[in-house]
Each structure stands twice: as C-alpha cells, then as structure tokens.
Amino acid sequence: MSNAEWHRLNPQPIYPRAHFLGWYLRHEAACDCQPIPETVLRELDALGIVTPGRTHRFGIGQPAVIGQHHPVPRRPPSLPVLHSS
C-alpha cells in the first residue's frame, strides 16, 4: 500500500483526542513519511504509551531514531504490576 493510499484510507481525525493520538500511532506503524511530533510524543508519554526505542523517556533503554520502529503500548516502570487471581 502506498503512503498516499494509506493517508486516503486513514484520514486524520479532529475529535476526540484519543482517536487523534491513535492516528499518529497507526501512521508511524504504516507510513514513514514523517516522525511523530514531539508534542504528541509528550502526550503519549503522559498516558504511559511509548514506542520501542523511546523507552529512555522512562529511564530504560537508549534513544532511537523516530520512524524506524513500531508503536507498542507499554507500562511505565513507575506503575505497579497488577496480578489477577
């Protein structure tokens, strides 16, 4: 699928904010035309969502080049792990 086709099939939403942030995660996974903007990355970090290679924001790993990885929601180290019984 070409970048133009992906953009046509996945228009950037205006509302609500979660869909807006999700659009950037899907876009980075499917298209390498531009990196996720820093403002969006900070908002994702605040929600505890980081992309592989960007875990240095939580004190683990090393910085990576944006656009060369796939987004994966991760639990920040500061949050407790919940165990189901």
* Residue 74: band (very low, low, confident or very high) from pLDDT cuts 50, 70, 90: low
What is the Cα–Cα distance from 49 to 9, expressed in whole angstroms? 24
* Residue 49: band (very low, low, confident or very high) from pLDDT cuts 50, 70, 90: confident
Please answer whether residues 24 and 42 qualify as being in contact, where contact means their C-beta atoms are separated by less than 8 angstroms. no
* pLDDT of res. 84: 62
Say if residue 12's pLDDT is above 80.
no
Of 60, 53, 64, 58, the closest CA to residue 76 belongs to: 58
Say if residue 59's pLDDT is above 60.
no
| pTM passes above 0.75 | no
